[in-house]
Amino acid sequence: MGDDIGHECGFAMLRLLKPPEYYLEKYGTHFFGLNRMHLLMEKQRNRGQDGAGVANVKLDMPPGTRYLHCEKSIAADPIGDLFGRVEKQATAMLQKAPRDARIPSGPNGKEQVDPRWVKDNIPFCGEAYLAHVRYGTDSENSLDRCHPVTRESNWMTRNLILAGNFNITNNEDLFGSLVQLGQHPRELSDTVMLLEKIGHFVDKENNDLYVKYSAAGHSPQTCFSLIAENINIARILRRASSLWDGGYCIAGLLGHGDAFVMRDPSGIRPAFYYADDDFITVCSEAPLIQTVFGVQEEKVHPLPPGQALCIKRSGAWTLEQILVPLAFKQCSFERIYFSRGNDAGVYREREELGRLLLPPLLNLLDVNGLSLANTVLSFIPNTSELAFLGLAKQAQDHLDRQKAELVKAMGQNGSAVKIDEAKLHELLSAKVRTEKVVHKDAKIRTFIQEDSSREHLTMHAYDIHYGTVRRGQDAVVALDDSIVRGNTLKNAILRTLDKMGPTQIIVVSSCPQIRYPDVYGIVGALFRRAPAVGSPGSAGPEKLL
């Protein structure tokens, strides 16, 4: 495995299939594609807040005009900053459109700017979009680390724009294969490896087709027109991906308008698509497609493992088997931690993971002389809430079964046994104690902060709800679903919980283990910080389980 493993976290592709005037007439806006991309990225805010980027390709543009645009941001609110700048520029240019660019009578009865002029003159008003949000897993953050990344050429069919959600585990092998081809890669990152690996075979496909058409007597200009029509994206991906190992969803645009999204053969990284007569879209999560485009769940499909959705410049699209599918090993951490909880499947899985924690928790309580009566169940905000609901429901079911068994035992000797009404009332009214003990006071992602500032920031990330725990009487169970809590758990959560004065603090995790071939990249220095090795604050070690 390479030393520098980064987790690239959310993408969206949108390919418009109709001419520009169609969207103005049907949706009442020149910026249908741009607006929908903004929404798709906002709905993936859960997948990345460190950087954002968007690229756009305009089809059939004449020589001498710009057909490819790409913008990125690493501002505090990168999605808002990025699309705010792009949309502000587009709106300003639309308002300043010359008189000869206006249609006397638009679809709503008012004068409108000619949609063709909008496409020709305003950036990000083309047919093919690719956008990405970045969730950085190290302390470095720069525009260079943001997607989409580009490999530019003066020939349309050689231009490559790439974005994705991936961890490549054999990065050094890919680096070596590029060196053997005679290349001199500028760095060892998996992003550069994939860009150059695909780019190499894009070049090879262009060269092979050019030789073929040139030998048939076509002029260079005609050769490249034929290449644009006949370039085989599936063949390029089969050649480029033969050595890839790890989890990935790779999305790309070519300068002439072809597009693709490819998923790894184990289905580790997620991708979902929807297509109708107006557009095709592919995203990291299904619910955002349902929400943004108002479509039903059954019309949104997962991209099968090892396959690529390939879109031609003409708008025709196919699903191509690129690699032989392997055993399905979908990333559990991504579905539990990154995915939006409003997905029906994700909701059920998170809840079930919480339910499964009850048996070992009950055993732990028993070993330490505790019971549900003097234990408060809670969770560490925010994504663990659904697992917490599952744990709480399962605990209540367990308590209800205990009640039924006790009532049954009280009446086993028939009516001669007098039931103590007070005791019966106490028994039947017993409930599992659940509280929101901790709330997140600030949106601080401490596990990617620089070492010097991490601990100070962490201490102020959480606060407590006073009065939810009886000081000196109650134990606290805090459910978590993250693997990246080392510093946060030790310096923020445990110290915060200790303010309540619980008799014991028990942290349980609903996050499954992360195993090869799926890799979640975190800076190694963070793992050297033991998450819970001693006393939080003044508490004795016996308070920490």
45: domain CATH number is 3.60.20.10
Predicted pLDDT at 445: 52
Q: What tens digit of pLDDT does each residue of 453-469 get?
A: 445 445 556 777 888 99
> What's the residue count for the chain?
545
> What single-letter amino acid sits at 129?
Y
- Same-domain pairing of 15 and 158: yes
- Same-domain pairing of 454 and 500: yes
Residue 339 lies in a domain: no
- Same-domain pairing of 172 and 230: yes
- Same-domain pairing of 158 and 276: yes
- Which pLDDT band holds residue 205 (cuts at 50, 70, 90)? very high
Which domain range does residue 353 map to?
348-408+420-543
- Same-domain pairing of 455 and 321: no
Residue 336 lies in a domain: no
CA pair distance 151, 159, nearest whole angstrom:
6
Residue 338 lies in a domain: no
The backbone torsions φ and ψ at residue 465, rounded to the nearest 5 degrees and listed phi first, read: -100, 105
Dihedral of the alpha carbons of 220, 151, 71, 312, in degrees to the nearest 10: 60
CB 200 within 8 A of CB 181: yes
- Same-domain pairing of 127 and 227: yes
Given a cut of 80, whether residue 4 has pLDDT beyond it is no
- The proportion of the chain whose per-residue pLDDT surpasses 90, expressed as a percent, equals 59
- Same-domain pairing of 157 and 273: yes
What contacts 5, CB < 8 A, 6 or more positions away? 137, 167, 168, 169, 171, 190, 519, 521
CB 469 within 8 A of CB 502: yes
- Same-domain pairing of 311 and 390: no
Q: What tens digit of pLDDT does each residue of 26-48 get?
A: 999 999 999 999 999 999 988 88
The backbone torsions φ and ψ at residue 503, rounded to the nearest 5 degrees and listed phi first, read: -70, -35
Collapsed DSSP state (helix, strand, coil) of residue 459:
coil
Number of structural domains found in the chain: 2
More confident residue, 392 or 190: 392
CA pair distance 428, 424, nearest whole angstrom:
6
Residue 1 lies in a domain: no
Among 276, 302, 330, where does a domain finish? Answer: 330
Residue 502 lies in a domain: yes
Predicted pLDDT at 518: 64
Residues 452-456: contacts with CB within 8 Å, 24+ apart?
Answer: 454/487, 455/487, 455/491
- Same-domain pairing of 323 and 356: no
Q: What tens digit of pLDDT does each residue of 83-109 get?
A: 999 999 999 999 999 999 988 765 556
Predicted pLDDT at 408: 79
Residue 413 lies in a domain: no
List helix spans (H) across 69-189.
Answer: 78-95, 115-121, 171-180
Q: Give the mean pLDDT of the chain.
A: 85
Given a cut of 90, whether residue 75 has pLDDT beyond it is yes
In angstroms, the Cα distances linking 198 to 242, 426, 497 are 11, 69, 50
More confident residue, 167 or 362: 362
- Same-domain pairing of 275 and 361: no
Give burial (CB, 10 Å; 0-12/13-18/19+) of 27: middle
Residue 337 lies in a domain: no
| Terminal Cα-to-Cα distance of the chain (whole angstroms) | 34
Angle of helix 344-355 versus helix 385-410 axis, rounded to 10: 50
Which residues partner with 149 through β-bridges? Answer: 162
CA pair distance 35, 94, nearest whole angstrom:
15
Of 218, 223, 157, 169, residue with least CA distance to 193: 169
Among 304, 330, 356, where does a domain finish? Answer: 330
Predicted pLDDT at 336: 72
The backbone torsions φ and ψ at residue 15, rounded to the nearest 5 degrees and listed phi first, read: -120, 110
- Domain of 366, CATH number, reads 3.40.50.2020
- Same-domain pairing of 314 and 432: no
- Same-domain pairing of 72 and 195: yes
Residue 505 lies in a domain: yes
